[in-house]
Amino acid sequence: MKMHNLHHLTGIRGLAAFIVVFYHIEAYIAPYLDSHILSIVQHGYLAVDFFFILSGFVIAFNYYDRLKVVNKSKVYNFYLKRVARIYPLHLLFILAYLSIPVAYTISGKILDPEEQKFAKEGFFFSLFLMQSWGGLDTLTWNIPSWSISTEMMAYLLFPLMVFILNFICKRFKSWGSCIALVMSCLLLICIFQGSASIGDYIQPLGVFRCVLEFFCGVCIWYLTKYKWKETHGRIIFYCGIFIFLFLMNTDIKDYYFVPLTMSLIILGSVLHKSKVNDLFSCAPLIWLGNISYSIYLSHYLIRDWFKLLFLETNEASVFWIVGYVITVLISSHFLYTYFEMAAKDKVLKVFINKGPGKPIPLSNK
């Protein structure tokens, strides 16, 4: 069967990015939240796992069939479009982050102990999006960009993922993508065994977390190629949600179930049309989804500036919180509109005729 409209995934991505914003100001908003809402915010790091799986799905949706037969031109075009999409905004914010240590120096204020992140070697690794590939012991500079670094690794490995999944599916036919999905989830469990959470040990384990969950997304895209009934999609979707919510309220470690249940939720949501899809396809959430990358990369720098300028203690007022969130949203809207997409198109225009093969079309993918 054909997949249903995928606009709802854009809306969910926007909501997930918004949750990450609140996750990074949890200490400031905790006094104002109900315990149940606070629990959701405290698990905001799981939004990153959703991003990884969704990214694998979307990239496979757009590029899997193009890279089934690998050649230099296709691989070059794929890598160029990925770099053009994610690097310009990252570069803008890694350079903008230089303003924080400079501002503290000028103001005479002392950086918190956690601000050891402003190390020269960390800046160099971050500049080339390699800060989570090994070589650093701590998160550096624009903290959320660690996941962009691991995402870049997943892009580099994507042609290999296509080859591996094709090989498995040829051997095991229709069961191949299911086997690959389960094996990826089991491998994640083995890697994180002994950890308190899948969000732990970001520097040594983050790249494995991203690459394997990205591959989960590729696998669930492949699963959509099979014949499904509308009922099947509905069952998969609600089973994924029920298992996720049930296990989140137990003592079972999240790495045992989060990658698989999130994969099932995404798969089920694209296999059937529901009111849930319509809910997440509403205009405000689509807008939030469109600017989600700008939200994700900008919110930490804006938070640090708000702390420097408007926060004297560790307690934040409602006005501080509201002002911060509004600033993130407005800034992200203008970044997306006037920089993010324009910079991507500019990079592609510069390199469009310099690589091997035919010129590549411009798109938002």
pLDDT digits (tens, 9 = 90+) for 314-333: 788 999 999 999 999 999 99
Q: Which of the four pLDDT bands, split at 50, 70 and 90, describes residue 357? A: very low
pLDDT at 364: 46
* Number of neighbouring beta carbons within 10 Å of residue 232: 16
How many domains is the chain partitioned into structurally?
Answer: 1
- Assigned domain for 160 exists: yes
359 located within any domain: no
Distances (CA, A) of 331 to 53, 89, 95, 301, 328: 27, 13, 17, 11, 5
28-87 pLDDT, tens digit per residue, is 998 888 888 888 888 889 999 999 999 999 999 999 888 887 788 888 889 999 999 999
Whether 108 is in a domain gets the answer yes
Average pLDDT across the chain, whole number: 87
Distance CA 24, CA 90 (A): 19
Q: Which two tokens stand for residue 151?
A: 């995402």
Residue 1 lies in a domain: no
**256-275 confidence digits (pLDDT tens):** 999 999 999 999 888 887 77
201-232 pLDDT, tens digit per residue, is 888 899 999 999 999 999 999 998 888 787 88
With H, G, I as helix, E, B as strand and everything else as coil, classify residue 170.
helix
Q: What is the dihedral of CA 26, 29, 31, 33, to 10 degrees?
A: -100
| Structural domain harbouring 71 | 7-351
pLDDT of residue 4: 55
**pLDDT value at position 113?**
54
Q: Is residue 357 part of a domain?
A: no
Separation CA 294–CA 315 (nearest Å): 27
Q: Is residue 365 part of a domain?
A: no
Asked whether residue 358 is domain-assigned, the answer is: no
In a domain, 362, yes or no: no
Averaged pLDDT, 288-296:
94
**What band does 362 get if pLDDT is binned at 50, 70 and 90?**
very low
